[in-house]
Amino acid sequence: MVTVEARIVVVASKLDKAGMNILDKLVNCYGFRKTSEVFENNPVYELDDVKIVVINSETIYSDYLENHIKAEAVIFASRHKSEKAIPSLLAHVPGNWTKEALYGGKPRAVCIAPASLLREALLGLIEVQKERKLDEWYVGLEVTHHGPYFEKLPVIFVELGSSEKEWGISIAGEAVAHAIYRAAFSKKKYQKIAAGFGGPHYTHFTKDILETDIALGHVVPKYVFDQITEKEISMAIDRTLEKVNTVLIDWKGLRSAHRKLVLKVAQERGLEVIKT
């Protein structure tokens, strides 16, 4: 299999209706064009120093891609699925905090979180929500979850959810395409880099991010804390592309013993603690 080289590589799966919707918008609205390159028998698209590859497998099980991509970071254009089927535009970093890896990746292993890239993607989603008055759509960050696992390549997912109905909606595809375009071509590097701890799957930290200049990478949710130790707390900090200098704690979204665990690691490392 060939190796694709670019500053940023965007990945979409042929098996993913939302991913194909987003790809269509990147090509038709943002000027990505077919190249002579082929990856998994699919055309590779390019705009300046950013390329798009289309894969034949599910994105969450695409660990093998790390051996075939040379880039500063990878952005997955993907569907999001939930039982409540709330129309959603989301972004997050992949990885698993516990011994379970039910949806790809490796147990107790997370990808490198490019916090500045993730913030730019979130701001891109917010931009379209405001411009196109997508008031009925939930926009926000999720906690770190699911595969794939890449050892060295920083990764984010930008997702369109949360059911078959939404995956094909044109304006939603445009929103995610815009977020990916903004993140991929932004050179913005933030100074306040955080890891987040506690709270629900759809993290409350989204609000804190939008009200400050904080770039957030990994988020460890409340529901995994009974199954993790200081090792995973440290992993959230160490597996961030930029140097983490801030810890966000969802104070009401963590039990006292778990807050103490996070505070211990933060104090040992001399990190600023922000209680939200």
4-185 CATH pick, 3.20.20.70, 3.20.20.110, 3.40.630.50, 3.40.50.720: 3.40.630.50
The predicted pLDDT at position 83 comes to 85
Report d(CA 42, CA 37) in Å as an integer: 9
Report d(CA 163, CA 138) in Å as an integer: 13
Contacts of 88 (CB under 8 A, 6+ apart): 80, 82, 137, 138, 139, 140, 159, 160, 161, 162, 166
Report d(CA 167, CA 266) in Å as an integer: 40
Say if residues 253 and 200 touch (Cβ distance below 8 Å): yes
Cα angle 206, 9, 105 (rounded to 5 degrees) comes to 65
Looking up tokens 């906690």 gives 143
Report d(CA 98, CA 181) in Å as an integer: 32
Q: Following DSSP, what letter does each residue of 1-13 receive, concatenated?
A: ---EE-SEEEEEE
Report d(CA 42, CA 185) in Å as an integer: 24
Domain ranges, ordered by start, for the chain: 4-185, 192-275
**Ranges assigned E (strand) in 49-153:** 50-55, 69-70, 73-81, 88-92, 95-96, 109-110, 138-141
CA nearest neighbour of 186 among 75, 108, 62: 75
The predicted pLDDT at position 247 comes to 98
The predicted pLDDT at position 57 comes to 98
CATH class of 192-275: alpha beta
The predicted pLDDT at position 30 comes to 96
Report d(CA 58, CA 222) in Å as an integer: 28
What φ, ψ does residue 213 adopt, rounded to 5°?
A: -105, 25
Mean pLDDT of each 10-residue bin along the chain, 276 residues long:
96 98 98 98 98 98 98 98 94 98 98 98 98 96 98 98 96 98 97 98 95 97 98 98 98 97 98 97
What value does the CA radius of gyration of the chain take, rounded to a whole number of Å? 18
